[in-house]
Amino acid sequence: MQKPLPPLTWLRAFEAAARHLSFTLAAEELGFTQSAISQHVRALEDRLGAQLFVRSHRGLVLTDEGRLLLPDVSAAMGMLVAATERFLPEQDKPTLVIATSASIAHWVIAPHIAGFQALNPDIAIQLVTTVWPDDFVATNADIEIRFGSPSVVGRDADRLHPCFLHLVAAPQLAQSIDRTELASWLPKQTLIQPVGLSKGWRDVRKMLRIREDLRPALLVDTHGMAVNLALEGAGVALCHGLISRDAVRQGRLIDLGMPQIEAKEGYFLAAKASALPDQQHRFLNWFKYLVAG
């Protein structure tokens, strides 16, 4: 049976300590404490049954066993670095991390990001798309754009406007109705709605005084997907006006003319603690101007 390899952390600690001949300098390089590096090396020595360093007040000296082990460990570390570096983008610009609702990324940022890049060629942007609130926990972003209610998104977030729900459909579907007959036409259509809304098709039914039930046949997890389905002619979407705005302006979707419904849930913008305050400020100004239309 093959013996298990020592943990990679032990080998990294040994290799760094051997290069610097110092536990302290190895700790600074790897982000550990000096005592942690010493313990990792001691654990490796115990596993191998060999002393790798002679320790003295002047520093470290490799033993014969340490000199024998070092070339192979260094070569292996070099191979691991080369294997992983090919997956990392070559980037010498500061990278601003934007964690954003997938709908905002697709329907608000993506169509206009070239304009930001033209104005700010010295900034790289990493877009991390999310759907649910807990997706933001591990992003460590400079800026967050969340969807939800004020109690969910946090006190440090500002609501983005416009913030309303309305009915949209593809032109070929919208052309099939007389706007005065909307109340009788809607119950016959495929209705689309994002999940997680406090207001929905029941509110539309009350507003238009429709006798029949209005129940969505297509439930989706984002307003962006509701817009996508409407564009494909899948039905009538009840969706957030900020996400559908560009498609309506371009004539790709038609607002069916029902009075807007004030949305309890919306999109919220938050600036987080950042190591790139200037880049963060420039993106926030651009994005706020973009949303303001």
Closest CA to 37 of 49, 48, 23, 47: 23
User: Running DSSP on this structure, what letter comes out for residue 265?
Assistant: S
Do 99 and 56 fall into the same domain? no
Residue bearing the bigger pLDDT, 156 or 22: 22
Give residue-wise pLDDT tens across range 206-236. 999 998 889 999 999 899 999 999 999 999 9
Residue 66 near residue 52 (C-beta atoms within 8 A): yes
Shared domain check, 252 and 170: yes
pLDDT at 43 over 70: yes
Per-residue confidence at 90, pLDDT binned at 50, 70, 90? low
Same domain, 227 and 180: yes
Number of domains in the chain: 3
Residue 190 lies in a domain: yes
Residue 1 lies in a domain: no
Beta pairing partners, 158: 269
Q: Please say if the pLDDT value at position 85 is more than 90.
A: no
Among the candidates 62, 85, 108, a domain finishes at 85
Judge if 104 and 32 occupy the same domain: no
The overall average pLDDT reported for the chain is: 88
2 belongs to a structural domain:
no
Q: What is the DSSP string of 38-97?
A: HHHHHHHHHHHTS--EEEETTEEEE-HHHHHHHHHHHHHHHHHHHHHHTTSPP--S-EEE
Residues 178 and 153 in one domain: no
Q: Domain for residue 225, yes or no?
A: yes
Residue 40 has pLDDT above 60, yes or no: yes
Domain-ending residue, one of 85, 103, 134: 85
Whether 90 is in a domain gets the answer no
Does residue 180 register a pLDDT over 90?
A: no
Do residues 118 and 37 both lie within one domain?
no
Beta bridge partners of 146: 268
3-state secondary structure of 176: coil
Judged by DSSP in three states, 116 sits in helix
Instruction: Pick the more confident residue, 173 or 181.
Output: 173
User: Do 145 and 189 share a domain, yes or no?
Assistant: no
Residue 151 and residue 283 share a domain = yes
Supply the pTM of this predicted model: 0.66
130 against 190, higher pLDDT: 190
> Tell me, what amino acid is at 3?
K
* CATH number assigned to the domain comprising residue 199: 3.40.190.10
Per-residue confidence (pLDDT) for residue 86, from 0 to 100: 74
Residue span of the structural domain in which 74 resides:
8-85
Domain boundary at 85, 119, 143, which? 85
186 and 218 fall within a common domain: yes
The answer to whether residue 207 is domain-embedded is: yes
Confidence of residue 72 (pLDDT cuts 50, 70, 90): very high
Are residue 168 and residue 157 in the same domain, yes or no?
no
Is residue 171 domain-shared with residue 258, that is, in the same domain? yes
Whether 3 is in a domain gets the answer no
**The CATH number of the domain where 57 resides is what?**
1.10.10.10
Q: What is the DSSP code string of 178-223? A: -GGGHHHHGGGSPEEEESS-SS-HHHHHHHHT-SS----SEEES-H
Kindly state whether residues 192 and 205 are assigned to the same domain. Answer: yes
**Does residue 230 fall inside a structural domain?**
yes
